[in-house]
Amino acid sequence: MDFSVRRVGRRRIPDDERVVLSGQVLVGADFRDRRLQQFSAEGCRFEGARFDGAVIESASFGAGRRVSEYVGCSFDGAKLRMGPGGHARFVDCTFDGATIDHWFCLAVEIVGCTFSGRLSKAVFNGSVPPDKREVAGRQINRFEGNDFARVTLIDVGFRTGVDLTRQRLPEGDEYTYLPNAADAVRRARIAYNAWDDSEAKRQARGVLVVMEEDVAGGQRQLLVRANDYPRASRPAIKLLLSAASTD
């Protein structure tokens, strides 16, 4: 997965371009069509909040050391560039037609949510890293009943035990779903080791290593998108995925 670095200046953010909340309960809050440089919530609960059409340059929905919850909220048509996922829980929310970038969710729970539009450069963890468990109050992230069928996933990783059988996933030639990841990775490794083409092995090596690391980290199913990788590498990657998919 690629990471990008942006140079951050010291420009003062106007008050009308920032929302910073802590310890609040908001019912029916309306952030529709707001253009914000910063949105930050720590230890808040949002019920039925509307973020439709909002454009947020740095969205920290789970800031600080307290969990924020979003229940029945809508982010339809929003454009969200995320800060760290932090400590957050989303339940029965909609992200229809949304564009979401850089969402790294290590201690985030997502339940019964619907996505369409584009989700790029994201990581969803099934288990909470040890250093975050005290604040999260749990070891496992609840991640179930979500609908990703109509969203384009670009460089998105489901890791450390996200149960993909409990989600609706996108389909199509660009995605390869491996329902038994351990067996699939074993087949891929056997096929890879038998290749004589050193260039193909070079092009596919990184993908195989990531798949093996995901399985070692507790992931039982894999969803791989060959188009996430450089065009020149895709034939070798698709050959690898074909071997992984063949019983």
Distance separating alpha carbons of residues 185 and 244, to the nearest angstrom: 6
Q: State whether 186 and 205 are in the same domain.
A: yes
* Residue located via tokens 């351990």: 182
The rounded Cα 107 to chain-centroid distance in angstroms is 12
Start-to-end CA distance of the chain, whole Å, equals: 28
What CATH number did the domain enclosing 13 receive?
2.160.20
Q: State whether 52 and 150 are in the same domain.
A: yes
pTM of the model: 0.91
Q: State whether 99 and 63 are in the same domain.
A: yes
Q: How confident is the model at residue 12 (pLDDT cuts 50, 70, 90)?
A: low
- Domain membership of residue 237 as a residue range: 176-247
Count of domains observed in the chain: 2
Q: Which of 170, 205, 224 is the last residue of a domain?
A: 170
| Strand partners for 89 | 69, 109
Query: Does 15 or 218 have the greater pLDDT score?
Result: 218
Residue 148 lies in a domain: yes
Residue 2 lies in a domain: no
Distance separating alpha carbons of residues 5 and 2, to the nearest angstrom: 10
pLDDT digits (tens, 9 = 90+) for 73-130: 999 999 999 988 899 999 999 999 999 999 999 999 999 999 999 999 999 999 999 9
Residue 58 lies in a domain: yes
